[in-house]
């Protein structure tokens, strides 16, 4: 499941929607939802991971953080995160 940080820009929401479609999973608007509320929704949908797209100080998508959800509904942050860049490798 994909979501965003709270109160994110339109471009970040659009990226989350596109990634959720590409990975054939769900997108949920974060707004004021807590992590526990996101975990509860995710479990109801049968998901075991939440991907949260966060922004930099310029309100651009900057990185993706991950939450793992076990079969008992306990969640934990995954230590690694993915940095988002606008660089294109034309080699």
How much is the pTM? Answer: 0.88
- Stated as kind and residue range, the H or E segment containing 20 is helix 10-22
- Residue 87 confidence class, pLDDT cut points 50, 70, 90: low
Q: Across residues 45-49, what is the average pLDDT?
A: 93
Give the closest residue to 2 by CA, choosing from 57, 58, 50, 70.
50
Residue 82 in this model has a pLDDT that exceeds 70: yes
Distance between CA atoms of 52 and 50, rounded to whole angstroms? 6
């Amino acid at each position: 499941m994909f979501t965003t940080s709270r109160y994110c820009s339109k471009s970040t929401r659009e990226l989350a929607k596109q990634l959720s479609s590409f990975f054939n999973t769900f997108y949920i608007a974060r707004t004021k939802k807590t992590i526990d509320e996101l975990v509860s929704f995710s479990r109801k949908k049968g998901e075991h991971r939440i991907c949260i797209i966060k922004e930099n100080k310029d309100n651009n998508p900057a990185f993706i953080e991950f939450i793992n959800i076990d079969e008992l509904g306990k969640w934990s942050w995954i230590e690694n995160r993915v940095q988002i860049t606008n660089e294109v490798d034309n080699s």
